[in-house]
Each structure stands twice: as structure tokens, then as C-alpha cells.
Structure 1
Amino acid sequence: MPRSPLPPREGISATALRAPGGKATHAKNHLPVPDSIGDWLETEFPEAAPESRQALLTDGDMCDEAGRPVTWDDPVIPGGFYFFHRPVPAEERIPFDVGIVFEDEDLIVVDKPHFLASTPNGRFVRECVVTRLRVDLDQPDLVAIHRLDRITAGLLVLSKRPETRGRYQRLFQDRRVHKTYRALAPAPPPELEFPIVRESRLVKPVGGRQVLEVAGEPNAVSRIRLVRTIGAQGLSPSGTRVDTDAAGPPRRGGGDHAPSEWAGDEDEGPPRGGIAEYELAPVTGKTHQLRVHMNGLGLPILGDPVYPVDLAPDPYDFTSPLQLLAAEIAFDDPLTGCPRHFSSHLSLDPGAVAAS
């Protein structure tokens, strides 16, 4: 798809619309080419008020690939792209700020707060990291180069320049980026030994919110390490669980496990009913992968509104943030070859879980 000749408006990119016809393989190729732009818009947006379609063309807000404004009676270029700005309704502000971790002439690395979307999507178009920063930093070409779920907090890398964007995007596509997450979840049973490699096949049913682990060839791999256990009250550390054979190879989930050693008070033993902090490293990048894998171990991440039960949460309920943080990102810079390592300034909050 060609780049839009229209600049973002209030941080929001123009919408691209492809006309029927043309030689390239496309789902609309079998449709007849309308006689005019106006006829096409009536077919494409039958639910829109006639005056809305007319205003789009009268005000010159719709253009072709070359940036030329089009009118109601202009002929349609078969298979051509046209660009325009959709009306975007006002949105309730997400009451959390984006923190800048690093910036140079090519990249911006930010700390995304919980509940703020990374990119425009669905009901959140204005209230997302990309739209906010395009406006606040006067960076109209800013684009996120990887995904981070709306309810997950932590590091997000954005590209400032289209000229170098592809090289950074390929790092993520080729899995040459090392990501480390931190999570709070129930303390593990003594028979579960860490570190663990969780491998499974993940499938998201059409129309569903939950991603499922199913039988079949694994397509998702996560490395999971126990960092520390936290007391049963969920607020103060009461000791540290030490991984047995921590220097050895990670063990795969399932099967028989020897108990880990306890480094807290000898008479007290490991806390029952407490929570623990985990370090998670995704080897692959499937949707909800870390959340599904932790849930599959019987250790659902605290504050998760979808696993193990989909609670259909109100997106404006900020009382129980998901205790998952994108804590570190490391890669070799494709432009300079120099290693880059970024750490989040945010932290997880057991108190928020206990209070919710």
C-alpha cells in the first residue's frame, strides 16, 4: 500500500480505501468499478448521511495516491488507493501518563502505563501512546514497531523516521530482540521446579477473547523463572525461594519435579497462599502468550481479567491493573551494530492487588 499523502490530523493517520478493480490480487477485484467517486462512496458507506459523504469531497478532504483532491464526479481509478480522515469522536482520557525512557533521532522508548493502548484500535483512537506522542512531541511519523497489550505496562519502542523504520521492524520480525517481563502471580506449589520452559500450541477461536492451549505442534515458547516469593499478606517479602540447579538448563513444564529449596525462616517454611514474582522471557510472540502459559501452569497473573475466567471488564475500570510489566528490551542496533539495552522505570505493585 502506498504511503498516505495526507499528514496525520491531531495525531491520527488518514484512512486508506482501495477501489474495486485493478490487476493486483485483491478481494474487491470481482466488484464492478463505479462510474464516479460519489457513486463509489454511496456503495462503500451506505449507512453514512448523504451530507457527510458530500462534505468529504466538497471540502477536499479526500485525495488519491498523488495527493490530488477528488470530487464527486471524478472517475474511479480501478484498484487505486484513496485517503481521507474519518471523523473521530471524543474519548474519555485514560488518567495515566507516558514516560520517556530514551530518545535519539530514530527511536523513542517509552514506559507505557497500564490501561493505555499502544496504537489506535477499536474504541481507543485518540487515547493511545502513538496518537498522544504524535501530538505532544510533534512527531507525525511516529509508529510503534512492536505490540504491547493495553493492560500490560512497560517498555514500548517507537520509530520516528520512515527511512530507518523497516530495519528496526525486522529485528522484531526475525526474533532478534530479547524481551524480559516481570509478573506477580500465586506462589507455586513446592513440587513445581524452576526455571521452566513452557511450550504449547496456542489458538484463538474466532470471536473469542481467550487464547487456548490445544494439542498439536507447539507454536509458542516461554521461559519462566521464579524470582522471589512474597508473604501471604501480599505486601512484604518473607524470604526468597532459591532455584535448585539454577545454573543448569531450564526444565520443561509438566512431569515430576523435585521441590525447590527455601531460604526464608527455617521454622516457618515456604508461605502458603502467598504470591510470587516471576521473570518471563517470550521466545515467540503470540497474542496473550505469557498470560496463557502462566495460567496453564496454574499460576494466573494477578489482575488478569481474561484468564482463567473472562470477566468482560469495563475498560475504564482502573482498580485492578494486570501485574505484568515489560521490564527490559535488548538488541543490537541495526544501524550502528552497537548493543542497546533498555530498562523500565515502572514496577509491579502487590499492594494494588491486595487492595482490589
Structure 2
Amino acid sequence: MKSPLPVRDGVNATRLRLPEEGPWVTALDYMLHRWGHIDPEGILQRFDDGEIVAADGSPLDRVTPLAEHTFIWYYRTLPAEERLPVELRVLHRDEHVVVVDKPHFLPTTPGGTYIQESALVRLRNELDLPDLVPIHRLDRMTAGVLLFAVDPETRGKYQVLFERRKVRKEYECVSLVRDPERFGSPVTVRNRMVKSRDYLLAEVIEGAPNAETRVELVRAAATDDGADGHPAFKALFRLEPHTGKTHQLRVHMAGLGAGILNDPFYPVLLDKAPDDYARPLQLLARAIRFRDPISGRETEFRSSLELQDAPSS
């Protein structure tokens, strides 16, 4: 459903579904019930300023009946955000797509406490592209190649590539391992993963596989990071996911006994702590390849970033 309000400050207007019935006479009554304890004067002012609108863009007022509209749109009050000490780098830009190197710690899209401090909102504002939308996503803690669609008329051609798994992705990660020789040959991990909305972790369960990753050791080097005096190696792996489940690579590497370095979730969930910018998750979306649906050419974009803990070649 297209918003009747334009993007403002890089952020889309919020859609609200009004209840069909209840003790509220007007749409204003319902909004005051939901958020009046936070900013009642601000809500009243938005109605008076015509900033709360119906699906056709017509403004609501203080006496608009609750049952008159099913959906309404409005601009949220954005919280103050401290700029994250990380930067985006544009790798490619044309009339159809923008390709960037997303840094660790920056989310792809607005959510939670990160609104302006998201790759999408930063790019919309910095490039003056209000219609920009992500074609796919990377976790906040994952860095690397990320694609955005510029033109609403052609974005579907790129999105369908991901939906039909016509895109080849390559990742790199660094893990601590005891015996790199057991990864002498590439392995393919296949299992069934589920991730609920109300729990942080993805789980592996019994059932037909729905997640698949090819794992290949690139190189390894001895390190002093081993516990209890046992030898350990920092190992750089190349990962090729054939599916895109949430936390798939992190779960698959942990399942191999090679959890990704600095991962606070797998194999052990750590207590929540402030971001440590000196110790990012050692996971990088290195490259993405596909046949461009507009030009018909085989296309590849590669990250210019490096994992700081990767062993030297």
C-alpha cells in the first residue's frame, strides 16, 4: 500500500490501522489512547496541521469519526540519535541501483533505536534519493556489499532475482579453530532452521533442510588466542549461502565448531553489552553476482573492506 505522504528526512511516513470499533468516537480519541501519555499536545498539533492523512491523502481533523478510515498515515517524532562512528562507501551508482559497502554496526533499514542511523536513511539524505529502497538486507553486525534500488519502475526486476535465487553471494568470516586440517576440503551444511520474532536466536530443528551453505577454508595461521594453553588458529573461510535464512551463516559456522569471531549470539548467547567498535563481528559480504535484468550483462560487485582479524596471506 503506497503512502500518500512523501518521504521526509529520509524516513517513510508510518501507517496505522484503526480499529473497526471500540470506545473511541474519533480517530483522535484512538491516537490519544495509544500515545497520549507520551505527547498529547504533539498529536493534537499534527491533526491541526493536516499531517495525519487518509489513504487518498486527505487530512483528518479532530472530529474525524473513527470508522471513517481503515488506514491513516502520519510522521513519527524521531528520537535524537548520536551518529555512529562508521561510514558508508558507494561502490557503484547508476539510474537503477546504488551499491555500497555497509560497515559493521550500521543497520540496513530503520528499526528500534536506529532510524536516521541506518544505511537506507543515510543514503536517501546524502544522495537526495527519497525513493531509494533496499533490494536485500544485511544484519546490523555484518559488513559488506549491499544493493539499493533507485527507480520504482525497475526495482521489481532486481528484487525478483533474489526471490528466485538468481543471485550468487560470497561471504568471508574469521573463526578460531583448533584443527584447521579438518577443513581441508570444502563442506556443505544443510539443515532446517527456524527463527521466531520474539526470540533472538535462530534454531536448528528436525525436518527437511531449508538452509544450505558451502564452507571453504581459505587460509589459517597460529594465534596466541587459544584458551588453557591449547594451540589455536585464526582461520579465514569463504562462505557461499544457497539460501538466506536469518543468522544462517552464524548458525552454520557455530554448528561446525568454528563460531565466527566476536559473535555475541552463537554458539553462546552473551549478556547484552554496548557495541565495541574495536571488535566487530568478523563476517563480511564479500561479493554478489547476477545477470543484470536491464543490461543482460553478468555483473559482480565486490567489497573493498577487509576483516581486521583475517590471518595474513
TM, length-normalised to structure 1? 0.81
Give the Cα separation in 2 of the matches to 1:188 and 1:225.
16
The one-letter code of the counterpart of 1:333 is D
Give 1:5 shift. 1.9
What's 1:312 paired with? 271
Confirm or deny: 8 A CA contact 1:19 1:33 kept in the other structure.
no
Seen in structure 2, the aligned counterparts of structure 1 residues 212 and 132 have a Cα distance that, compared at 3 Å, is same
Confirm or deny: 8 A CA contact 1:33 1:76 kept in the other structure.
no
Confirm or deny: 8 A CA contact 2:36 2:43 kept in the other structure.
no
What's 1:288 paired with? 247
What's 1:256 paired with? none
What's 2:12 paired with? 13
Total equivalences in the alignment: 306
Confirm or deny: 8 A CA contact 2:161 2:167 kept in the other structure.
yes
Give 1:312 shift. 3.2
Give 1:310 shift. 1.5
Give 1:59 shift. 1.6
Matched, 1:146 2:145: no
Give the Cα separation in 2 of the matches to 1:191 and 1:86.
53
Confirm or deny: 8 A CA contact 2:104 2:143 kept in the other structure.
yes
The one-letter code of the counterpart of 1:294 is M
Aligned partner of 2:187 among 196, 204, 224: 196
What's 1:245 paired with? none
Give 1:6 shift. 1.4
What's 1:208 paired with? 199
Give the Cα separation in 2 of the matches to 1:14 and 1:161.
19
What's 1:230 paired with? 221
What's 2:43 paired with? 53
**Greater alpha carbon shift after TM alignment, 341-350 vs 211-220:** 211-220
Give the Cα separation in 1 of the matches to 2:26 and 2:68.
11
What's 2:121 paired with? 131
Confirm or deny: 8 A CA contact 1:115 1:315 kept in the other structure.
no
1:163 alignment partner, SS class: coil
Confirm or deny: 8 A CA contact 2:18 2:27 kept in the other structure.
no
Seen in structure 2, the aligned counterparts of structure 1 residues 287 and 98 have a Cα distance that, compared at 3 Å, is same
Give 1:110 shift. 0.1
Confirm or deny: 8 A CA contact 2:25 2:66 kept in the other structure.
yes
What do you get for the CA RMSD once the two structures are aligned? Answer: 2.1
2:223 alignment partner, SS class: coil
1:154 alignment partner, SS class: strand
Matched, 1:4 2:3: yes
What's 1:322 paired with? 281
Give the Cα separation in 1 of the matches to 2:55 and 2:75.
14
Give 1:299 shift. 0.2
**Greater alpha carbon shift after TM alignment, 175-184 vs 206-215:** 206-215
Confirm or deny: 8 A CA contact 1:115 1:150 kept in the other structure.
yes
The one-letter code of the counterpart of 1:275 is K
Confirm or deny: 8 A CA contact 1:230 1:277 kept in the other structure.
no
1:350 alignment partner, SS class: coil
The 5 Å alignment of 1:1-356 reads 1=1, 3-21=2-20, 31-32=21-22, 35-76=25-66, 80-187=70-177, 189=179, 190-205=181-196, 207-233=198-224, 272-350=231-309
Give the Cα separation in 2 of the matches to 1:40 and 1:330.
48
The one-letter code of the counterpart of 1:162 is P
1:340 alignment partner, SS class: strand
Query: How high is the sequence identity, in percent, across the aligned residues?
Result: 42
Rg comparison, structure with higher value: 1
TM, length-normalised to structure 2? 0.91
**Greater alpha carbon shift after TM alignment, 179-188 vs 123-132:** 179-188
Give the Cα separation in 2 of the matches to 1:60 and 1:79.
15
Seen in structure 2, the aligned counterparts of structure 1 residues 316 and 272 have a Cα distance that, compared at 3 Å, is closer
Confirm or deny: 8 A CA contact 1:225 1:278 kept in the other structure.
yes
Confirm or deny: 8 A CA contact 1:188 1:276 kept in the other structure.
no
Confirm or deny: 8 A CA contact 2:178 2:232 kept in the other structure.
no
Confirm or deny: 8 A CA contact 2:262 2:279 kept in the other structure.
yes
Seen in structure 2, the aligned counterparts of structure 1 residues 132 and 290 have a Cα distance that, compared at 3 Å, is same
Confirm or deny: 8 A CA contact 2:144 2:305 kept in the other structure.
yes
The one-character-per-residue Cα deviations of 1:74-104 (angstroms, maximum 9, x if unpaired) are 2345563211101011112110110000110
Seen in structure 2, the aligned counterparts of structure 1 residues 153 and 186 have a Cα distance that, compared at 3 Å, is same
Give the Cα separation in 2 of the matches to 1:347 and 1:317.
18
1:231 alignment partner, SS class: strand
Give the Cα separation in 2 of the matches to 1:134 and 1:205.
30
Gaps of 5+ in 1: 22-30, 235-270
1:117 alignment partner, SS class: coil
